[in-house]
Amino acid sequence: MSAANPYLGAYPWLASRSGVWREIVRHVQHDARGARTVVELGAGYCDFINQFPALRKLAFDCNPDMARFAAPDVEMTIGDCSELPGVETSSVDLVFASNFLEHFDSAGVSLILANASRVLRPSGRLILLQPNHRRCQAHYFDDPTHVTIFDDRNLPGFLAPHGLRVVKLVPGLLPFSMKSRLPRWPLLVRIYLASPIRPMAAQMYVVAERSRPCGVG
C-alpha cells in the first residue's frame, strides 16, 4: 500500500475487517433476497462487494488504490459515482453504501440518490449503513470530510423525493467505526447484529425500496 496516500493512512486495511463484513453481508442478504445485480458505492477495500453472492457485482470508488482489492468477479469503476456511469436504468436489484452519503453536500446527495433510484428495478432496494448523528454527535465530524448531517429522523426525507420508500430503519446497528470495540470474531459479530441490545451502536441501518419510477431531476 502507498504510504503517501492519506486515504490509506486514515482508513487502513485491517485483516479482521473481512470476517466482520462477512457477517454484515449475511445480515444484508436477509433484506435483499434474490439480488442478482448489486452495486456498491464507495466500495473502499471491497469487503462487502467481494463477499456478496450475486451474479453481477459492480463497485465504484474514487481512490485508484482500491482497484487492487476488488475480486476478479467484481466490475470496479474508479471515479465519481454520482451519476453511476455505465449502469443501465432499471437494471439493478440492490444498491449498497456504507459511510458514504455524509461526505457530500445536499446537492451531491440528491444526485446520488436520484441515480440510485434510476438504476434500481421496480421494488429494488437501496441499503445504507450510515452514521447516526443523534448517537454520535461528539465524533460525527472527527472525519473532516463529513459534510452533511444524517440521523434516523431526517434520512427518510432525503430518500422520499427520489421514489425511495423506507421499509426498515434500525437507529443503531453497528458501532461508529471499525476502530470501535466491535467483536472481531465472526460468530460474536453475528450475535451482536442479532441482539436487541447493541452497546455503542451509532450507525443506523436503512432499507429503502424503489416505490415508483423516478428519473434523474
Is the pLDDT at 185 greater than 90? The verdict is no
Q: Look up residue 110 and give its three cell numbers.
A: 440528491
State how far the Cα of 3 lies from the Cα of 17, in Å rounded to an integer. 20
Asked if residue 78 belongs to a domain, the reply is: yes
Query: Rounded mean pLDDT of 102-129?
Result: 97
* Cell 451531491, located at residue: 108
The helix/strand/coil state of 120 is: strand
Looking at residue 174, which CATH number applies to its domain?
3.40.50.150
pLDDT in tens, 68-91: 999 999 999 999 999 999 999 999
198 pLDDT more than 70: yes
> C-alpha distances in angstroms, 10 versus 3, 5, 46, 128?
11, 9, 16, 22
More confident call, 40 vs 8: 40
10 within domain boundaries: no
For residue 2, being part of any structural domain is answered with no
Q: What is the pLDDT of residue 206?
A: 98
The whole domain housing 36 covers 15-210
**Mean local confidence (pLDDT), 193-217:** 80
Domain count, the chain: 1
Residue 132 counted as domain residue: yes
**Dist CA 140 CA 103 (whole Å):** 11
Is 217 contained in some domain?
no
In a domain? residue 196: yes
User: Three cell numbers at 208?
Assistant: 429503502
Query: pTM, whole model, 2 decimals?
Result: 0.88
Give the pLDDT of residue 213: 53
In a domain, 6, yes or no: no
